[in-house]
Amino acid sequence: MNLSWLSRFRERPWLWQSGLILFAILLPLPLGDYYRTVAWRTVLYIMLGLSLNLIVGYAGLFQLGHAAFYALGAYTAAILNLQLGIPLFWTFPASILVAALFGFLITRPILHLRGDYLAIVTIAFGEVVRLALVNNIFGITGGANGLSGIARPRLLGLEFRQPIYHYYLVLFFLLITIFAMRRLENSRLGRAWLYVREDETAAEAMGINTTQVKLLAFVLGSGWAGLAGALYAARITVISPDLARFMESVVMFCIVVLGGTGSIPGVFIGALGMVTLPELFRPLKDWRDAWLGVTMVVMMIARPEGLWPSRRVQLELQESEAPHG
Amino acid sequence: MFKRIVVPIILLGCLLINLTGCGGAKDTIKIGLQGPMTGDYAYEGKGFQNALNMLVEQVNAAGGINGKQVELIVEDDAGDPTQSALVAQRLVDAKVVAVIGAYNSTATEPASEIYNEAGILHVTPSSTAVRLTTKGFPRFFRVCFLDDRQGLFAAKFMQEVLGAKNVGILHDNSTYAQGLAEETKHYAETLGLTVGFYDAINPDDQDFTPILTKIGAANLDAVYFTGYHSQAGLLLKQSAELGLTVKWVGGNAANNPVMVEIAGIKNAEGVFVTTEPLPKDLNYPEAQKFVADYKAKYGEEPDSVWTIMAGEAFNVIRIAMEQTKSTDPATLAEYLHTQMKNVNGLTGPILGFDEKGDRLGTIHVAYVIDATGNFVLYEKQPSP
């Protein structure tokens, strides 16, 4: 298959990038509030997927409790808003910091674990957070009912009430996220993550402080999930411990793995498959959840590397098969 | 080949099925039902759906409302606030005039804002959180009763049925139990009872001898315990061991056979519990007909009071539409707020709705534990 038109696009990335951004900006205009909310939710999960991609994709660490940090961010924003009356936008930095801090505290002692052992510990942490929220820890999380009555965010006198405002709000943060991720991917740190993922011992021998870079992946990824949580709280205004349930973590994990581990476009496709399509299949009623199972089985048979694998992985494959002159 | 062609075709096919899913529009009255059809509360959601399918069928067979057929649109929120916001928007897009739902307060809250902005009549059958009706939404109603009504019922029960003058109230410091205890104290004092004892235990306590000794010394006629069933069981057991003769009444958190197991049948016998009744224990002809029809259609009695409450929500909307000859949500809300008084509902008389949209009156009843350790409806109930 001739891929020349594709490579032409690759040479001028700004062309399709600005096209995509324009598409994302225009997308909600012809849609009704329901589809705007679906779009909002998709973008939010892309953000969550990208944050988890830092940990799972770049650094190659199994994190199956990511929803806990999402919930921590949402609860931080909600508690600051409800208890101290801080406007929601001002709680965003606190949400990021709290989630990142917990990411640091939790992962510092378990960083030497690998693969399935790490996965078990992260699952356990996710459950601990959920149960702590259910049990109304410190009397501020509202127990199983969660917290409600979170004030809608305001900016320059504009109240974020309509779904379309929230869509643009998450889109704004998503663009920042993607920009940051692209920079990170090609930074010294991004390359260090790659080496650690491929061969930790060799990376250490090369002079990379593996503990530090792995910790940084967790802290950054957790903080980012915290921001997504705060954005969620701003839109729904009611939060419950269900945010931290295991199924949420699994959805985030699948977004990263199905789309193609370590790949930003892969996360987009993963979020479309895991979040948008099941929502659009709502009229199928009870058969809706069957879609997820079927896709996963088909995916694992047809494309185990993901729908849009990381370009770096692809390039490596191409180079090994047909080296450039 | 398989990957490039077959998979996209399957995906496209699925999408097409989805897009053609919406049916054509006729001149019907569209009423939405939002509830947990999947997830932890799926049992309650199915009850909602069964009750409404049955009632809508009955109404349509009898010629519909004001000559128009009713179309029920069911959406699943899984009890989750995010999905609730999504399905609420779907129902708004489907142009429903009224919505029944959701089951839990956490799901009802985000939806109520969306329905409020869209100007749709919204009736919840089962969300009892007080805050829901404090937001000034003019078209939000509930046919269930607020958490505080149980306090009023308990105070009345102790006064009218048990003939108590001096009562004690004990809670366990949990948000729910403390709230109920405070409401009960408030209503007991309003009714002229003496609250001779008001105290709390801690959720981890196992030995209640000190607090029971105080209760014994306070010369009370009845004690109302608002906490949960396992501690209620221990309290009853230790109360009997200390030889206390005071009458025990438990709140609906104690309404669990585990309480009898822990206390032992001989210590639990004659203990009262205030709670929402089972549908079959609702002693009204409308309720009995609902239960009989339900059993005839689905082969089992509705086990949850919220099933019949969902029917009541539909009933209230139907009555409002028939009385006002209108399907305009503003007219319907106006009618419910001001004119609907003393109507015979499925769950007993509907005295009316207050300005916040809360139903007046109460549905709670007292059960007593019989000699075999079962909860049975007590023959004497206080006046409504």
pLDDT of res. A286: 66
Q: Count of CB contacts below 8 A, A vs B?
A: 77
Classify residue B205: in a domain, yes or no: yes
- In the predicted structure, residue A229 carries a pLDDT above the cut 50: yes
- In the predicted structure, residue A313 carries a pLDDT above the cut 80: no
Q: Which residue of A has its CA nearest to B3?
A: A302
pLDDT digits (tens, 9 = 90+) for B242-293: 988 899 999 887 887 888 889 999 999 999 999 888 888 888 888 889 999 9
B81 touches chain A (CB under 8 A): yes
Residue B104 in contact with residue B127, Cβ under 8 Å? yes
How confident is the prediction for chain A on average, in pLDDT?
A: 84
Both structure tokens of A92? 């965003």
Specify the DSSP class assigned to residue B62: T
Classify residue B23: in a domain, yes or no: no
- In terms of DSSP bridges, do strands A154-155 and A158-159 run parallel, antiparallel, or are they unpaired? antiparallel
**Residue A100, CA distances (Å) to A55, A123, A219 in order:** 13, 17, 5
Classify residue B3: in a domain, yes or no: no
Classify residue B360: in a domain, yes or no: no
pLDDT of res. B20: 42
> Which of A237, A242, A287, A295 to probe the B interface (max B CBs under 10 A)?
A242
8 Å CB contact of A237 and B110: yes
pLDDT grade for A138, boundaries at 50, 70 and 90: confident
Same structural domain, B272 and B291: no
8 Å CB contact of A284 and B17: yes
Rounded CA-CA distance B151/B167 in Å is 13
Same structural domain, B158 and B229: yes
Same structural domain, B295 and B269: no
Closest-CA distance, A290 to chain B, in angstroms, reads: 12
pLDDT grade for A240, boundaries at 50, 70 and 90: confident
Nearest beta carbon to residue B105 from set A33, A145, A236: A145
pLDDT of res. B115: 93
Share of chain B above pLDDT 70, in %: 92
Classify residue B329: in a domain, yes or no: yes
- In the predicted structure, residue A218 carries a pLDDT above the cut 60: yes
CA angle B162, B165, B169 (to 5 degrees): 85
A246 touches chain B (CB under 8 A): no
pLDDT digits (tens, 9 = 90+) for B210-245: 999 999 898 899 999 998 888 899 999 999 999 888
A239 touches chain B (CB under 8 A): yes
Q: pTM higher than 0.80, yes or no? A: no
> Which of B40, B106, B134 to probe the A interface (max A CBs under 10 A)?
B106
- In the predicted structure, residue A2 carries a pLDDT above the cut 70: no
Both structure tokens of A263? 């790949």
How confident is the prediction for chain B on average, in pLDDT?
A: 86
Share of chain B above pLDDT 90, in %: 38
Same structural domain, B217 and B94: no
8 Å CB contact of A242 and B15: no
pLDDT grade for A104, boundaries at 50, 70 and 90: very high
Higher per-residue confidence, A317 vs B123 = B123
Rounded CA-CA distance B63/B56 in Å is 11
Helix (H, G, I), strand (E, B) or coil at B192: coil
- In the predicted structure, residue A168 carries a pLDDT above the cut 60: yes
Rounded CA-CA distance A221/A216 in Å is 8
User: What is the distance between the terminal CA atoms of chain B, rounded to a whole angstrom?
Assistant: 73
B58 touches chain A (CB under 8 A): no
8 Å CB contact of A302 and B3: yes
Same structural domain, B60 and B163: no
Closest-CA distance, B44 to chain A, in angstroms, reads: 16
Rounded CA-CA distance B312/B309 in Å is 5
pLDDT of res. A3: 57
pLDDT digits (tens, 9 = 90+) for B343-372: 888 888 888 888 888 888 878 889 999 999
B chain contacts of residue A242, beta-carbon cutoff 8 Å: 80
Helical packing angle, B305-324 and B285-298, nearest 10° = 110
Of the candidate ranges A127-136, B115-124, B325-334, the one whose mean pLDDT is the lowest:
A127-136
pLDDT grade for A312, boundaries at 50, 70 and 90: low
pLDDT digits (tens, 9 = 90+) for A243-258: 888 888 988 998 888 8
Q: Domain total for chain B?
A: 2
The residue-averaged pLDDT of A258-263 equals 80
**Residue B4, CA distances (Å) to A10, A303, B287 in order:** 21, 11, 59
User: What is the distance between the terminal CA atoms of chain A, rounded to a whole angstrom?
Assistant: 20
Classify residue B11: in a domain, yes or no: no
State whether the Cα torsion B55-B61-B64-B68 is positive or negative: positive
- In the predicted structure, residue A140 carries a pLDDT above the cut 90: no
pLDDT grade for A78, boundaries at 50, 70 and 90: very high
Both structure tokens of B42? 């799926």
Which among B75, B148, B77 has a CA at the least distance from the CA of B109?
A: B77
A163 touches chain B (CB under 8 A): yes
Tokens 């001149």 correspond to B27
Nearest beta carbon to residue B92 from set A33, A143, A284: A33
8 Å CB contact of B175 and A32: no
Specify the DSSP class assigned to residue B252: G
Instruction: Identify the bridge partners of residue B32 per DSSP, sorted by sequence position.
Output: B73, B99
Same structural domain, B173 and B230: yes
pLDDT grade for A316, boundaries at 50, 70 and 90: low
Same structural domain, B157 and B194: yes
Which among B156, B165, B203, B209 has a CA at the least distance from the CA of B184?
A: B156
Classify residue B115: in a domain, yes or no: yes
Same structural domain, B178 and B270: yes
Specify the DSSP class assigned to residue B69: -
- In the predicted structure, residue B25 carries a pLDDT above the cut 60: no
pLDDT of res. B311: 92
Same structural domain, B172 and B268: yes
B116 touches chain A (CB under 8 A): no
A139 Cβ contact list (under 8 Å, min separation 6): none
8 Å CB contact of B86 and A37: yes
- In the predicted structure, residue A223 carries a pLDDT above the cut 90: yes
Both structure tokens of B339? 């004119």
pLDDT of res. B212: 92
Letter string b/e over residues A119-145, b meaning 16 or more CB atoms within 10 A of that residue's CB: bebbbebbbebbebbbebeeeebbbeb
B73 touches chain A (CB under 8 A): no
pLDDT digits (tens, 9 = 90+) for A169-197: 999 999 999 999 888 888 889 888 888 88
pLDDT digits (tens, 9 = 90+) for B144-183: 888 778 888 999 999 999 999 999 999 887 767 887 888 8
Higher per-residue confidence, B40 vs B141 = B141
Same structural domain, B184 and B300: no
Higher per-residue confidence, A287 vs B350 = B350
Q: Taking the CA atoms of chain A, what radius of gyration do you get in angstroms?
A: 20
pLDDT grade for B1, boundaries at 50, 70 and 90: very low
Closest-CA distance, B216 to chain A, in angstroms, reads: 32
pLDDT grade for A8, boundaries at 50, 70 and 90: low
Same structural domain, B110 and B246: no
Rounded CA-CA distance A241/A244 in Å is 6
Which among A91, A99, A47 has a CA at the least distance from the CA of A218?
A: A99
Determine the structural domain holding residue B100 and report its residue range. 29-142+283-350
Instruction: Identify the bridge partners of residue A159 per DSSP, sorted by sequence position.
Output: A154
Query: What is the CATH number for B153?
Result: 3.40.50.2300
Same structural domain, B113 and B164: no
pLDDT grade for B24, boundaries at 50, 70 and 90: very low
pLDDT digits (tens, 9 = 90+) for A46-64: 999 999 999 988 888 888 9
- Measured torsion, CA atoms of residues B209, B210, B212, B213, in degrees rounded to the nearest 10: 110
pLDDT of res. B71: 93
**Residue B249, CA distances (Å) to A45, A149, B179 in order:** 49, 34, 16
Q: Taking the CA atoms of chain B, what radius of gyration do you get in angstroms?
A: 24
Q: Which residue of A has its CA nearest to B14?
A: A281
Classify residue B178: in a domain, yes or no: yes
B124 torsion bin: left (phi>0), alpha (psi -120 to 50), beta (else):
beta
